[in-house]
Amino acid sequence: MKLTTAGESHGKMLLGIIEGLPSNMSVDIEEIDKYLALRQSGYGRGGRQKIETDKVEILSGVRNKITLGSPVAFCVKNADYANWQATMAPEGADVSKRALTRVRPGHADLTGMIKYAHTDARNVLERASARETCVRVAGGTIARQYLRALGVEVSGYVECVCGIEDTAYHAFEELENAKSQPLFMLDSDKQAKAMELIDTLKVQGDTAGGIVQVRVKGLKSGFGSCMTYAEKLDAILCGALMSVQAIKGVEVGMGFKAGKLPGSKVHDEIVLENGKYSRTSNNAGGIEGGMSNGEEIVLRAVMKPIPTLMKGLKTVDTATGQATTAAGERSDVAAICACEIILESVVCTALAEVVAKRLGGDNMGEVIGRYSLLD
């Protein structure tokens, strides 16, 4: 199974193709739109979200809400294209109009311009933009539906916004409550403080990042590999998290804290009860030796603050070589809720790929049958 995406932020649409989905899998299109709406939500989003109402359109591979076994192609249209057609149309456009040369520190602008030999950073930023994540969420929700058919669920919440942190443990069943909260946080006092901070940052023309936790429940043991490094489940899932725009660090289970404690305080002791192995704690975050061990998978990722600051950081205008302030027409102050949904989605996609690789199966009945045979 593999998801490929295409599309520019102000182009006609974003596109995705998933190859390798088995036939006879139910596709819940309303659920895809629900996650697309969640990706657009959250306190601190900017003007673009008032223009867009993201909806998926399935183009192939699904008939009467059931997969056919052929590639599933889908798109999310950009409503903003109507305002950008004159400068973005592939058929011919006035590219001088929305040129960006006051390159933004922290964005792909400058390095992308040099690498791809462009004099206009728009040719870079249009693809580097996090708008692309619409179709990663759409594809990820299809992958979520594949996993759910096996009893595997993925959820998460926002732990921290710009230093305001919820350090409490929350049970998996509690996590979905976060999605009805303005910042997807589970501690209402911390959330209220974070909202105040976002208001202040907005006035100051500044931005916020944060930390997201993603968890996977119900995955049987043995997915991933201790034999081939590229197939290690933690390498695959961390790679998926790091592939999301603005992610600068990831952790599995106890993560970096494990470097500060002795082994006796880190490793999860093993017990055998009623013929079933389990661990007395889950500091490993559900992955040992590159393989799922049957416990919940616990992942964390940090999103840097959005690099388009309305107050404009110091930079260079690549057209003149003169010092200036970076471009900033409109921006999100915080997009941590979007990030939470995107990270869940990429975990679904990466995990479905790993599961499909082990189980194979041309139709969903075959896949479910093979999964049920595992311990």
Binding residues for ligand EPS (CB under 6 A): 9, 46, 48, 52, 125, 129-131, 308, 330, 332, 338
Nearer to ligand EPS, 293 or 308 (CB): 308
Nearer to ligand EPS, 104 or 215 (CB): 104
Nearer to ligand EPS, 179 or 215 (CB): 179
Cβ of residue 9: shortest distance to ligand EPS, in angstroms? 6
Cβ of residue 162: shortest distance to ligand EPS, in angstroms? 18
- Assigned token pair, 153: 């669920």
CA distances from 208 to 62, 102, 116, 231, 246 (A): 39, 21, 29, 34, 11
Nearer to ligand EPS, 27 or 338 (CB): 338
- Using alpha carbons only, how large is the chain's radius of gyration in Å? 22
CB of 110 closer than 8 Å to CB of 128:
no
Q: How far is CA 308 from the centre of its chain?
A: 19
* Distance between CA atoms of residues 163 and 185, nearest Å: 13
- Assigned token pair, 23: 């036939």
CB of 237 closer than 8 Å to CB of 143:
no
Cβ of residue 46: shortest distance to ligand EPS, in angstroms? 5
Cβ of residue 110: shortest distance to ligand EPS, in angstroms? 14
Nearer to ligand EPS, 130 or 298 (CB): 130
Nearer to ligand EPS, 198 or 351 (CB): 198
- Assigned token pair, 348: 């679904």
The residue behind tokens 């791809």 is 116
Cβ of residue 36: shortest distance to ligand EPS, in angstroms? 10
Q: Which stretch of DSSP H or E encloses residue 204?
A: helix 188-204
Cβ of residue 129: shortest distance to ligand EPS, in angstroms? 4
Cβ of residue 37: shortest distance to ligand EPS, in angstroms? 12
Cβ of residue 182: shortest distance to ligand EPS, in angstroms? 17
Nearer to ligand EPS, 22 or 46 (CB): 46
Nearer to ligand EPS, 239 or 328 (CB): 328
Nearer to ligand EPS, 70 or 83 (CB): 83
**Which residues neighbour 162 within 8 Å (Cβ) at sequence distance 6 or greater?**
194, 197, 198, 201, 208, 209, 210, 305, 334
Amino acid at 164: I
Burial 177-201 (b: 16+ CB within 10 A, else e): ebbebbbbbbbeebbebbbebbeeb
Helix axes of 364-372 and 336-359: crossing angle, nearest 10 degrees: 80
Cβ of residue 131: shortest distance to ligand EPS, in angstroms? 4
**Helix or strand or coil: residue 373?**
coil
